[in-house]
Amino acid sequence: MYKEILQNIDHVAIWPMISFFIFFSFFLCLLWWTFTVDRKYIRHMKEMPLENDKDNQLDLNA
């Protein structure tokens, strides 16, 4: 029943295919980017949450 209705839309199968393709390519780019990105950048990002504490003498957990 579903197939019939979907078949009535022209080339319905192409839409999921296209969206899958877009996302897959996006993903590949993302992978490529994460592995080629500058190390300095990664280090900077990693330390970001900790930065504020430098001027914060009250480290409860230290």
Partner 1 sequence: MELDKFSYDNKIVRAFIIVTVIFGLVGMLVGLTIAIQLFYPALNFDFQYTTFGRIRPLHTNAIIFAFVGNAMFAGVYYSMQRLLKTRMFSDTLSWIHFWGWQLIILAAAITLPLGITTSKEYAELEWPIDIAITLIWVVFGWNMIGTILKRRERHMYVAIWFYIATFVTVAVLHVVNSFEMPVNWLKSYSFYAGVQDALVQWWYGHNAVAFFLTTPFLGLMYYFLPKAANRPVYSYRLSIIHFWSLIFIYIWAGPHHLLYTALPDWAQSLGTVFSIMLIAPSWGGMINGLMTLRGAWDRVRENVVLKFMVVAVTAYGMATLEGPLLSLKNINAITHFTDWIVAHVHVGGLGWNGFLIFGILYWVVPKMWGTKIYSNQLANIHFWLGTLGIIFWALPMYVSGVVQSLMWKEFNPDGFLVYKNFLETTVQIIPLYMIRAVGGGLYLTGAILMTYNLIKTAYSGKFIADEPAEAAPLAAVPAATSGGWHHRVLESKPVLFTVLAFISILVGGIVEIIPTFLIKSNIPTIASVTPYSPLELHGRDIYIREGCVSCHSQMVRPFRSETERYGEYSKAGEYVYDHPFLWGSKRTGPDLHRISGKYSDSWHYNHMLAPDAVSTGSIMPAYPWLFEQSLDLEQTAPKIRALRKVGVPYAEGYEDTANEALMKQATTISENLNMEGIEVAPQTEIVALIAYLQRLGKDIKSEKVAER
- Contact status: 1 vs partner 1 (CB under 8 A): yes
Please pick, from the candidates 15, 21, 25, 28, the single residue that binds partner 1 as defined by CB under 8 A. 15
Q: DSSP letter string over 19-52?
A: HHHHHHHHHHHHHHHHHHS-HHHHHHHHHHHHHG
Interface residue with partner 1, options 10, 11, 54, 58 (CB under 8 A): 58
As a whole number of angstroms, the distance between CA 25 and CA 19 comes to: 10
What is the smallest separation between the CB atom of 3 and partner 1, expressed in angstroms? 9
Rounded Cα distance between 21 and 15, Å, is: 10
What x/- string results for residues 28 through 57 when contact with partner 1 is judged by CB under 8 A? Answer: -xxx-xxx-xx-xxx-xxxxxxx-xx--x-
